[in-house]
Amino acid sequence: MAELRGVLVFLLSVGAAAAVWPQPQFLSVATEGGCRLSARRFRFAYADSSAVGPGCDVLDQAFRRYWALLFSVARNDSETARSEDACSELLVSVTKPECDGYPSLDTPENYKLTVSDEQMLLTAYTVWGALRGLETFSQLAWRNDDGTFCINKTDVVDFPRFPHRGLLLDTSRHYLPLKAILETLDAMAYNKLNVFHWHIVDDPSFPYESIMFPDLSWKGAYHPATHVYTVSDVKTVIEHARLRGIRVIPEFDTPGHTQSWGPGTPGLLTPCYAGLSPTGSYGPVNPILNATYQFMAKFFAEVSAVFPDFYIHLGGDEVDFSCWKSNPEIQTFMQKMGFGQDYAKLESFYIQRLMDIVSAYVKSYVVWQEVFDNGVKLKPDTLIHVWKENAGPYQEEMACVTKAGYRALLSAPWYLNHISYGQDWLAVYQVEPLAFEGSAEQKALVIGGEACMWGEYVDVTNLTPRLWPRAGAVAERLWSNQTVRNLEDAYMRLVDFRCVLLRRGIRAEPLFTGYCDYEYTAF
């Protein structure tokens, strides 16, 4: 990487040429000509051929957003638009007559964008694909010396390489205000990321306000009034995400990582023992009580109803067996069940029952890799989330998971909460998710990945600059063709894209020395 840093020193921000991030599958931009987009004249409109039209809120609202993104800054209307009428509207045509649903894992996001002398046309099969095309269009518009926006003749044919392109936020270690989550969703849409993995609760705090079990956040949040996500907050997040073509997958991690569930749910956690007496501290969820499963059935019924996505993340990582081992009732149960001293079997016993509960709500689930590693019997449509960096190369785990026939999600090399001095986006960018030993069938089981932003050292003060533009490196790896890996080209476009993010009010940190025409101005 050292020699590379030398090369990159000389590539400073240029600004003018429109770059697109993530790189489309096919993009051809004419190097001359181009016409002006005038705030006074330009509009987005539905083509006559479109199966959706005015009243389709996903697109109506996207038109307003992208209009504002284009023209609210750097607006210069002192000059009336020149005579190229063709550039006065972008026509949008969607094939599938559906607006009010939610995107899913199977949603096609492909689109085509043509800017010619005759017209500007965006076509897509779904409204979700049209959203991706609007983003590309907004990035292709470039600023002229006089401050107006122009767009060159362009052809784009685009679709994602992987259908699941996620970002994990952890709202338990530190509470993230609603606004920070909504802004993250905005920036995700700019990067064409489409899954918000909401690691909403964990050991330190339980900010999810449950309708059925209000004591969970009342007693488990950092503060029961200021550090919670109310029913209405959660709805706001889901709708804000939907309007940007982003799915929300909540994670309620059990049986470990559940300390914060304890105060609001007496009896749920395992009492730890020292010898024959309880120590007063608690371990993972108690897997031997019927009450535990009765609680989980009610709780996940609520979660299934609140979150519309087909998938729920059930966690299942890093279960600490020491408390289970210390507890005499659990030891007795282990004997009765013939588990011997194999506490992974007890964990499997718990997870299997939990999965049966959740399946009954016609949902499927994502689990962290330990659940697979521990041999839990899984439904075939389970997604295995590969995260361990140090338990042997993650490529081996990807090979094992897919060899067993399960679909895999990759996060191990994409823990963006880890930082280091210099251009650490490069390592993230150079990951190739399919670079593991395996057949074509195995590779086809990799449905994408997620950038993770764990919250031990992250709260609202540093979330955004730590995320952006670094998460963009993951976004491009998951969207663009496998062959898009030229680091100098990526650097140029990412520097440019970071300036776009600043112009849009996102505090994206710099990649290296340089400046943007529109710097971030909070002061």
Helix (H) or strand (E) holding 66, with range, is helix 57-71
313 contacts 251 by C-beta, under 8 angstroms: yes
Look at residues 12, 14, 63, 70 and name the one whose alpha carbon lies nearest to residue 503.
70
Q: Output 35 or 475, the one with its CB closest to ligand NAG.
A: 35
Helix (H) or strand (E) holding 468, with range, is none
Q: Greatest CA separation found in the chain?
A: 88
Give the interface segment with ligand NAG, choosing from 73-81, 315-323, 437-445, 491-499 (CB under 6 A): 73-81
Task: Say which amino acid occupies 414.
Answer: W
15 binds ligand NAG (CB under 6 A): no
Q: How far is the CB of 79 from ligand NAG (least distance, A)?
A: 4
Give the interface segment with ligand NAG, choosing from 6-14, 31-39, 390-398, 420-428 (CB under 6 A): 31-39
For residues 387 and 197, what is the distance between their CA atoms, to the nearest angstrom? 14
Q: How far is the CB of 173 from ligand NAG (least distance, A)?
A: 35
> Is the dihedral angle over the CA atoms 263, 233, 69, 88 positive or is it negative?
positive
Find the binding residues for ligand NAG in span 473-512 (CB under 6 A).
481, 483
For residues 169 and 454, what is the distance between their CA atoms, to the nearest angstrom? 6
How many CB atoms sit inside 10 A of residue 365's CB?
Answer: 25
Find the binding residues for ligand NAG in span 156-215 (CB under 6 A).
none
For residues 68 and 441, what is the distance between their CA atoms, to the nearest angstrom? 44
* DSSP assignments along 340-353, one per residue: TT-HHHHHHHHHHH
Look at residues 83, 94, 99 and name the one whose alpha carbon lies nearest to residue 38.
83
Q: Output 140 or 376, the one with its CB closest to ligand NAG.
A: 140
Q: How far is the CB of 81 from ligand NAG (least distance, A)?
A: 12
114 binds ligand NAG (CB under 6 A): no
101 binds ligand NAG (CB under 6 A): no
Give the interface segment with ligand NAG, choosing from 74-82, 173-181, 369-377, 455-463 (CB under 6 A): 74-82
Find the binding residues for ligand NAG in span 416-455 (CB under 6 A).
none
3-state helix, strand, coil in the chain (%, to 5): 35, 20, 45
Q: How far is the CB of 499 from ligand NAG (least distance, A)?
A: 15
Q: How far is the CB of 18 from ligand NAG (least distance, A)?
A: 5
Hey, which residues does 124 pair with through a beta bridge? 94, 111
Q: Output 452 or 487, the one with its CB closest to ligand NAG.
A: 487
461 binds ligand NAG (CB under 6 A): no
Q: Output 29 or 378, the one with its CB closest to ligand NAG.
A: 29
Interior CA angle at 38 toward 32 and 39, to 5°? 145
78 binds ligand NAG (CB under 6 A): yes
Coil vs helix vs strand at 11: coil
Find the binding residues for ligand NAG in span 120-159 (CB under 6 A).
146-147, 152
Q: Output 18 or 238, the one with its CB closest to ligand NAG.
A: 18
For residues 130 and 137, what is the distance between their CA atoms, to the nearest angstrom? 10
For residues 494 and 488, what is the distance between their CA atoms, to the nearest angstrom? 10
For residues 436 and 309, what is the distance between their CA atoms, to the nearest angstrom? 30
Give the interface segment with ligand NAG, choosing from 26-34, 337-345, 385-393, 427-435 (CB under 6 A): 26-34
Q: Output 388 or 443, the one with its CB closest to ligand NAG.
A: 443
Residue 6 CB partners (closer than 8 Å, separation 6+): none
Residues belonging to the active site: 318
Q: How far is the CB of 160 from ligand NAG (least distance, A)?
A: 10
Q: How far is the CB of 26 from ligand NAG (least distance, A)?
A: 7
| Contacting residue, 32, 48, 100, 118, with ligand NAG by CB under 6 A | 32
Residue showing tokens 């609520």:
302
How many CB atoms sit inside 10 A of residue 15's CB?
Answer: 17
Which residue number is nearest to ligand NAG in terms of Cβ? Answer: 147
Residue 387 CB partners (closer than 8 Å, separation 6+): 317, 368, 369, 394, 411, 412, 415, 452
For residues 217 and 207, what is the distance between their CA atoms, to the nearest angstrom? 5
Give the interface segment with ligand NAG, choosing from 28-36, 234-242, 298-306, 356-364 (CB under 6 A): 28-36
79 binds ligand NAG (CB under 6 A): yes
- With CB under 6 A, what is the number of residues at the site for ligand NAG? 17
14 binds ligand NAG (CB under 6 A): no
Q: Output 81 or 238, the one with its CB closest to ligand NAG.
A: 81
Q: Output 152 or 191, the one with its CB closest to ligand NAG.
A: 152
25 binds ligand NAG (CB under 6 A): yes
Tokens of 225: 């009034």
Look at residues 466, 446, 473 and name the one whose alpha carbon lies nearest to residue 383.
446
Q: How far is the CB of 481 from ligand NAG (least distance, A)?
A: 4
336 binds ligand NAG (CB under 6 A): no
230 binds ligand NAG (CB under 6 A): no
Cα atoms found within 13 Å of the Cα of residue 507, Cβ hemisphere only = 11
Find the binding residues for ligand NAG in span 278-307 (CB under 6 A).
290
Q: How far is the CB of 426 from ligand NAG (least distance, A)?
A: 21
Residues that bind ligand NAG (CB under 6 A): 17-18, 25, 29, 31-34, 76, 78-79, 146-147, 152, 290, 481, 483
